Structure formats: structure tokens, C-alpha cells
């Protein structure tokens, strides 16, 4: 929402540094929202460290039914300290601060098996390029070339930054064809990237889903 690629997910995702003080502080904050855990897994630092997300539903006035998902580890992303260093901070008129995953980290986090995440990635990169195209920094150029998801934007990027595109093409082969004007071939390659990333996400979640099933089994036996 802040970054412009609005997705009506009706929930809030929090990434938590899983130390005991922070964990207690979050528990207190969740209590003030009347938040109850609504599904497995249980809420504990150890569970978060394993890569699970813990789900809550709020009941306090004004936030009834709001979902809050808490996690501390995201697939293929660095640890919390690195994410925190790279975060975006946005302040409102009263000085209230919102600490957000950086756009490149958010894009990486959204490379999931869920189809609805991929159009958001496309928009996030397009918006980031539009807002920063006049003053490109090397890491941003790499980010655009690595994550742009439309043939039109890829063509523009490859023509504008040919050296960086050549350098990155071994990691992203479709960059070699992005300047050819063959949009259909680029689209097919983009689709193949999505399928490959979805397969990686499914493989990542397979053992965690087995753990979730075990948690469910435990909770049904010991409610």
C-alpha cells in the first residue's frame, strides 16, 4: 500500500527480531489488540526461527477480525539484522514511523507459490523504476534487471544499461533476449521463471507443512 502496489490482503504481516524481549513486547501489543492465535503453529521464538508464520485475529474495538501474521525468517532472504538495515522508514504528519521491508526485499519475499503475489512484484518493480529512473544507483539497476517482469520494461532496461545486463545475464538468461523485441519469447521465459520459483517455494514449505500437520494433530489431541 505504501509502495503503491496495493493488494487487498486484509492482513498485516510483521517481521519480528526473535529475541525474548521483543517477543514479550509483541505479546503485550497483541494482547492490547485482543489478538488470539487462530491456527497452528504455536507462538514461540523457536517456531518462528524454523521459518513458520504465526497467525492471529484481533478482537479489540476498531480492529475486529483483523488478521496479523508474524514471522521472523523469510525464504531466500537474509536474517533480520540485514533486513532491518535495508528497511524503508516512512513517517506521517505526526511523526509516527512505519518501518517497512525495502522494496527489493519485499519483492524477494513475494516470490511465492501464490499466483496473486506475482502481479504485485511486477508493479513494485515498475513503480520503483519509475520513481528512481532519473537517478539510478548501481544496486537499483541490478534490482530492476533481476526482477523486472514485463517484456516492455525489460527491453527498456537492457537498452539503457547494456553492460549491467550482460553481466547479470548468466544469472538471468532471459536478459539476453530482452532487447530483441521478441516479446512473446520473453513472456514465455518470464512464465518459466515463475514456475521455477513456485517449485522452490513448494519445496521450502514441504517439510514445514508436515510440521504444521503435526502441530494440528497435537492441538486436536490436546486442545
Partner 1 sequence: MLYEDMPDEWKEWLDLTPIQRFRESEKLFAQYLAMGGSLDPDPDPTSPFYDEDEWRPGAAYGRAGLRVLRRGAS
Least distance (Å) from partner 1 to the CB of residue 114? 5
Residue with Cβ nearer partner 1 (10 or 221): 10
Nearer to partner 1, 81 or 206 (CB): 206
Which residue's CB is nearer to partner 1, number 122 or number 193? 122
The minimum distance between CB 212 and partner 1, in angstroms, equals: 8
DSSP H/E element including 20: helix 20-32
Q: Decide whether 137 or 220 has the Cβ nearer to partner 1.
A: 220
Which DSSP state fits 108?
H
Minimal distance in Å, beta carbon 115 to partner 1?
Answer: 6
Smallest gap from residue 96 Cβ to partner 1 (A)? 10
Q: Which of 45, 47, 15 has the alpha carbon at shortest distance from 214?
A: 47
Cβ-defined contacts of 35-38 (< 8 Å, 24+): 35/59, 35/60, 35/68, 38/67
Closest approach, Cβ 68 to partner 1, in A, equals 11
What is d(CA 79, CA 72) in angstroms, rounded to the nearest whole number? 8
User: If we measure between CA atoms, which residue out of 69, 41, 34, 74 comes closest to residue 55?
Assistant: 69
Question: Which positions touch partner 1 (CB under 8 A)?
Answer: 1-4, 6, 9-11, 38-39, 53, 55, 57, 64-67, 69, 90-93, 98, 112-116, 122-123, 126-127, 130, 150, 152-153, 156, 201-202, 205, 208-209, 212, 216
Q: Taking the complex as a whole, how short is the minimal distance between the CB of residue 15 and partner 1, in angstroms?
A: 15
Residues contacting residue 169 through CB under 8 Å, at least 6 positions apart = 175, 176
Specify the residue, 148 or 174, whose C-beta has the smaller distance to partner 1.
148
Nearest to 136 by CA among 209, 145, 113, 96: 145
Of 167, 163, 124, nearest to 144 by C-alpha is: 124
Output the smallest distance, CB 20 to partner 1, in A. Answer: 25
**CB neighbour list of residue 143: distance below 8 Å, 6 or more residues apart:** 103, 104, 107, 125, 128
Q: Which of 166, 202 has the CB closer to partner 1?
A: 202
Measured from the CB atom, the residue of 25 and 60 that comes closer to partner 1 is 60
Amino acid at each position: 500500500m505504501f509502495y503503491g502496489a496495493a493488494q487487498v490482503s486484509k492482513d498485516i504481516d510483521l517481521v519480528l527480531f526473535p529475541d525474548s524481549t521483543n517477543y514479550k513486547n509483541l505479546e503485550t501489543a497483541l494482547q492490547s489488540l485482543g489478538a488470539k492465535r487462530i491456527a497452528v503453529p504455536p507462538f514461540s521464538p523457536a517456531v518462528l526461527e524454523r521459518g513458520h508464520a504465526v497467525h492471529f485475529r484481533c478482537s479489540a474495538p476498531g480492529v475486529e477480525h483483523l488478521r496479523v501474521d508474524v514471522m521472523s525468517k523469510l525464504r531466500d532472504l537474509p536474517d533480520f539484522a540485514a533486513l532491518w538495515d535495508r528497511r524503508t522508514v516512512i513517517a506521517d504528519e505526526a511523526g509516527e514511523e512505519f518501518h517497512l521491508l525495502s522494496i527489493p526485499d519485499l519483492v524477494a519475499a513475494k516470490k511465492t507459490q501464490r499466483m496473486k503475489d506475482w502481479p504485485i512484484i511486477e508493479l513494485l518493480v515498475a513503480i520503483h523504476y519509475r520513481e528512481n529512473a532519473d537517478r539510478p544507483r548501481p544496486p537499483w539497476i541490478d534490482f530492476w534487471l533481476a526482477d523486472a517482469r514485463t517484456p516492455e520494461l525489460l527491453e527498456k532496461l537492457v537498452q539503457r544499461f547494456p553492460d549491467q545486463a550482460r553481466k547479470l545475464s548468466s544469472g538471468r538468461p532471459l536478459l539476453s533476449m530482452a532487447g530483441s523485441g521478441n516479446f512473446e519469447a520473453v513472456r514465455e521465459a518470464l512464465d518459466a521463471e515463475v514456475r521455477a520459483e513456485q517449485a522452490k517455494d513448494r519445496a521450502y514449505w514441504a517439510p514445514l507443512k508436515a510440521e504444521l500437520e503435526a502441530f494440528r494433530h497435537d492441538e486436536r489431541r490436546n486442545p
